[in-house]
Structure 1
């Protein structure tokens, strides 16, 4: 074992390139010497060769420093220990990532347990050139039945979150990032600015939102799971955590008003209608309604004792949400400010916001598609002709209507529009595909874009194109201003760089750098020679 204890602010010198591990595991710990030792012994049994990974433990100011204890362990891999004054989990993890030497960083918690193939499964989801963020599964410890109701509720909630990301037609998002089990490229983390250390909670989802906005692809891997055995047994501390999450989620929402999934006021619209009056009461009269919260939790406990787990979890959810929204109300500062935040959410994420975004998207698509077709010119007559006569624009218009239907929670409307899009225009676009502004289908017939492919702005498809998966292992990302020739196929979790040209009938199976030309079967890649002329 190689252990080092760093003073706060110490800079760890990089290792020589030849000795760099492929993967760095970062674990923050605080007053949990026994648990961190258990986790380190689990890493000693990994199928991944010890030379391929390192573990960086950051002691966030434990009362009894862990470095002297960990230095005595005999482990087959490189272990380094960083020590800092207590600054919170976000600061500790940030320090660990900066000290990491691997290209891929995996973050987990000190109270987790992992299987022997845990690290190998994470690393397998990061092929060369990818920008994946891998969210692993979090399963409850088999001793979950001995835990209090509120901790069993937490395990139930994790299972629901995992189910929302599992399956071929579902995908993970940045706002689902949880530092209990996640891996990503160190370079992407650094480029995004790392954890916001000013956040006392929810720094993980805030980082996830920024990584997704920066173009990272999120995927869920249930097999790369951890067992979570909580040592939280205090109901009062559980309520305080709920309150803190309400406070800090409000700050995350202020940073990212364009992401409704991180707005704490969404619970007033998404929770069971029977629970909404209780939530509203907690916002209007935070202190006066505390006895009501205790009554709800008491009912949940009685349901649990009587053998009705669903009712017990529902009651626990309401209890948590009431305290969570008290935190959001405290951050708002007054009932009037809270009401303004609720109105902002309703206007941005509800019906009016969807209609406004739909109109804006249709206008922007018309302008960009016209510029693309007319070499940068977009006069009123040309735009009108595009809207009235172009099948390529009709594809986009139907796609924007589909997006609005999804945003309004009308899945059947999205499905009906998808059928119309295929039947009338001959193009098949999956429900999770992201189309940028001004994507132009010169000839739409026979084009298929599947899965969760991401298409940038002003991309041109010349017809009979396939953008899909090669072996059910992910879908392409096509950056801005790419032209895809007739009959070309782009397959797998690859990236086509901006301004590249894909030749007719080419089959592209590997990344294409920006300003390149790809031709042939399989495609060969060459630099573009005409970049300066366009």
Structure 2
């Protein structure tokens, strides 16, 4: 669908964008921001601004009653329920198809809305805008500079493409998304009084949203000039709510509070662990550390001071994690589960995690099936690339193609093996025996892109190896045996693009060269050079032993013959 068809043209005058701002005791900074929306390059008739006062001590609407804007402005008030509830109310009142959420203390350029809207060329997109610290960075308190530097690092990583934007990176200081997507995932979770933006971002990701970073849709974030105590309380609260997010989304490793620990400086790691193990004494340590960092800052040692602030944030953060997790035993259990999750679905080592490898291998097996389908139907041009099938097509093939079913079962068995889940691997081995009358050992190596046709009656040894592009028909045996000359034990190595026909038996430490075809019924116990054809001997046909009264197997016409007598 065209961009104009989705959002309407600027000339139509319809509301395309709704800006939602949650505000609390910041009437002056909100006024400044609302005035800057009056300077937008987007036509004022095409956007609206909805500010929701979250029970401020001051009457925000009354303080801004004299403000005149060219765009539609609406200021609502609610009982203090938190920023998530305020933003939820704003989105529910919105008329635009695109929602822009921004904090009340931001400053923006005239192209802010234009750049956000431009990021929505693709449907179902979440656009994260740049958060830029105030130019007066040097005048900010130490803890404000800590946040500002972190935001700048993240923004640079997103803008350069070094780090892709994902759901857990979403922040409501400067973000836009389709209203329909927001309502589809259920909106903000009101139980989160912090990190509600990260939590809904994870649900956006699970709903299939596309994420992009709009470096030019920037907003400038000034200093809150809050107290050191409030900053430390915020770090503690972040730990509490990060744990809540992790509990809600156990399948999302990057939402877990433990994700930082493997990457922390080895010197700092024991100190943060102290925060988990002994949160009370660790709080005293955090107070001493922040005073020390502030002292370094006053004498001009800002790098040392910022390092100290980072450590203090970490101590407070993990003290909060401990509070929400429970006892030290609970902490140890949760961390073990996290490490187990890393092993199963984390980033893994070479080739990725066992789960990622399994899914990639299943896709490659399916792609190779399609390659051969095209090839033998004479539809595949030389050098053509066959794209991966969609998840729906792969699922359909897994239902319709018995050989592919067997390959999927084998991949699941290998996943359990690689994840050190021996019982799971044994269970899949027995399932394969009963469901497919095949015996494939979990240590057998079938490279991604191996094709099995029909699949019943296969017997593949633990030491057998099959390279990509090879095709195995039913009743094939790749068995462990002895070399007929050297008596060395081993199992076959089948090189790339080898076809092994129905009922062929290969055993011993032989190598079947690339591109070879082994015809049905062959028994092979010696290596075969590449691009060979191996045929079974032509069967020798002889007559069976003659019946009494027959000659050369031909029945006698003599009615007195014994066979005819028996027949009579």
TM-score (norm 2): 0.62
Q: Which residue of 2 aligns with 1:298?
A: 291
Structure 2: distance between partners of 1:321 and 1:215: 32
Match of 1:173 in 2: 166
Q: Match of 2:72?
A: 78
Aligned residues: 380
CA displacement at 1:116 relative to structure 2? 1.2
Cα separation, 2, equivalents of 1:367 and 1:70: 64
Q: Is the 8 A contact 1:201 1:248 kept in 2?
A: yes
**What is the CA-CA distance between 1:261 and the residue it aligns to?**
1.5
How far is the alpha carbon of 1:163 from its aligned partner? 2.0
Structural RMSD (CA):
3.2
Matched residue, 2:281: 288
> How far apart, CA to CA, are the structure 2 residues paired with 1:272 and 1:39?
40
Q: Shift of the alpha carbon at 1:309?
A: 2.8
SS at match of 1:48: coil
| 2:333 aligned residue | 340
Helix, strand or coil at the partner of 1:189:
helix
The offset of 1:333, in angstroms, is 1.6
Q: Are positions 1:26 and 2:20 aligned together?
A: yes
Q: For 1:466-481, what aligned pairs fall within 5 Å after superposition?
A: none
Matched with 1:94 is 88
Deviations 1:272-310 (A, max 9, x none): 111001000111111112232223223322332343333
Residue of structure 2 in register with 1:376 after alignment: 399
The Cα shift of 1:365 comes to 4.4
- Return the alpha-carbon distance in structure 2 between the equivalents of residues 249 and 366 of structure 1: 37
Please name the residue that 1:136 is paired with.
129
The correspondence for 2:120, drawn from 119, 126, 141, is 126
Q: State the match for 2:32 in structure 1.
A: 38
Q: Deviations over 1:383-410 (max 9, x none)?
A: 459989xxxxxxxx9xx9xxxxxxxxxx
Distance 1:378 1:54, change over 3 A: same
**d(CA) in 2 for partners of 1:350, 1:307:** 44
1:276 equivalent to 2:269? Answer yes
Q: Offset of 1:44 from its aligned partner?
A: 0.9
Q: What 5-or-longer segments of structure 2 have no aligned partner?
A: 1-11, 370-392, 419-446, 448-467, 470-568
CA distance in 2: counterparts of 1:169 and 1:188, whole angstroms = 27
The 5-angstrom pairing of residues 220-235 of structure 1 reads 220-235=213-228
Contact 2:398–2:404 (CA under 8 A) maintained in structure 1: no
| Residue 204 in structure 1 maps to residue 212 in structure 2 | no
> Distance between the aligned counterparts of 2:401 and 2:364, measured in 1?
9
Per the TM alignment, residue 361 of structure 1 is displaced from its structure 2 partner at its CA by 2.9
**Secondary structure of the structure 2 residue equivalent to 1:341:** helix
Is the CA contact (8 Å cut-off) linking 1:247 and 1:327 kept in structure 2? Answer: yes
Instruction: Give distance in 1, aligned partners of 2:407 and 2:71.
Output: 65
Aligned with residue 57 of structure 1, among 31, 51, 54: 51
Say if 1:366 and 1:387, in contact at 8 Å, map to a contact too.
Answer: no
Aligned to 2:359: 361
C-alpha distance after superposition, 1:5-24 (max 9, x if no partner)? xxxxxxxxxxxxx7641111
- 1:67 Cα offset (Å): 1.4
Q: Kindly indicate whether the alpha-carbon contact (under 8 Å) linking 1:20 and 1:101 is maintained by their aligned counterparts in 2.
A: no
Give the Cα–Cα distance (whole angstroms) in 1 for the partners of residues 80 and 293 of structure 2: 36
Pairing partner for 1:151 from 137, 144, 147: 144
TM-score, structure 1 length as denominator? 0.66
Alpha carbons 2:282, 2:315 under 8 Å: kept? no
- Name the SS of the counterpart of 2:279 in structure 1: coil
Select which of 155, 178, 181 maps to 1:188.
181
Change (3 A) 1:122 1:385: closer
Asked if 2 retains the 8 angstrom alpha-carbon contact of 1:39 and 1:113, the reply is: yes
The answer for the alignment partner of 1:311 in structure 2 is: 304
Q: Report if the CA contact (8 A) 2:268-2:311 is conserved.
A: yes
Contact 1:366 1:386 in 2 (8 A): no
Contact 2:13 2:46 in 1 (8 A): no
Give the stretch that moved more between structures: 298-307 or 218-227: 298-307
Distance in 2 of aligned mates of 1:29 and 1:238: 19
Name the CA distance, whole Å, in 2 between partners of 1:384 and 1:262. 33
Q: Which runs of 5+ in 1 are unaligned?
A: 1-17, 389-396, 401-420, 422-440, 443-534
Cα deviation for residue 363 of structure 1 reads 7.0
Confirm or deny: 8 A CA contact 1:56 1:81 kept in the other structure.
yes
Q: 1:19 to 1:166 in 2, by over 3 A?
A: closer
Q: Flag the 1:363–1:287 CA change in 2: closer, same or farther, 3 A.
A: same
Task: Give yes or no for contact 2:242–2:257 (8 Å, CA) kept in 1.
Answer: yes
The CA distance in 1 between the partners of 2:397 and 2:93, in whole Å, is: 51
Output the CA distance in 1 between the equivalents of 2:85 and 2:164. 29
Q: For structure 1, which segment, 64-73 or 212-221, has the greater mean C-alpha deviation from structure 2 after superposition?
A: 64-73
Distance 1:387 1:234, change over 3 A: same
